[in-house]
């Protein structure tokens, strides 16, 4: 391998590593950008992850049917750090904008109603 080929190869490896690290740490700004793009397109959405509580189906239905807000489940119980940052960035733009659009906290309203709609299971002793 010539000197030029070695430098080229090392530069290429460095560029790939830098791109990977940059992509990982840019998750929050990418989420912000995606939310602003959805805002321009008139698309109302929040992103969620984690183990779903029993009320989540009713909560999602209420948001969608009453307000046209889509709840996008992006991951279950196993969530990578960059996905968490991406969702945080996205929701930091979309949630306040949606609250402002409707003039109230529709998320709190729908969540409370969903909790009341789901029957509580008795505790076995």
Instruction: For 21-68, write each residue's pLDDT tens digit.
Output: 666 668 999 999 999 999 999 999 999 999 989 999 999 999 999 999
As given in the structure block, the two tokens for residue 57 are 């189906």
- List Cα–Cα distances, 8 to 1, 16, 17, 56, in angstroms: 11, 12, 14, 52
Q: Is the pLDDT of residue 94 over 80?
A: yes
Q: Which pLDDT value is given to residue 120?
A: 72
Mean of per-residue pLDDT scores for the chain = 89
Q: Which of 103, 83, 102, 81 is nearest to 91 (CA)?
A: 83
Tell me the C-alpha distance between 68 and 77, whole Å. Answer: 26
């Amino acid at each position: 391998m010539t000197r030029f080929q070695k430098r080229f190869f090392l530069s290429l490896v460095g560029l790939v590593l830098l791109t990977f690290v940059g992509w990982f740490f840019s998750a929050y700004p990418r989420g912000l950008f995606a939310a602003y793009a959805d805002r321009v397109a008139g698309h109302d959405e929040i992103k969620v992850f984690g183990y779903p509580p029993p009320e989540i189906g009713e909560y999602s239905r209420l948001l969608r049917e009453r307000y046209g807000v889509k709840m996008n489940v992006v991951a279950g119980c196993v969530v990578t750090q960059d996905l968490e940052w991406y969702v945080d960035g996205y929701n930091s733009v979309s949630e306040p904008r949606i609250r402002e659009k409707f003039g109230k906290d529709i998320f709190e309203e729908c969540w409370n109603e969903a909790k009341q709609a789901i029957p509580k299971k008795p505790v076995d002793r």
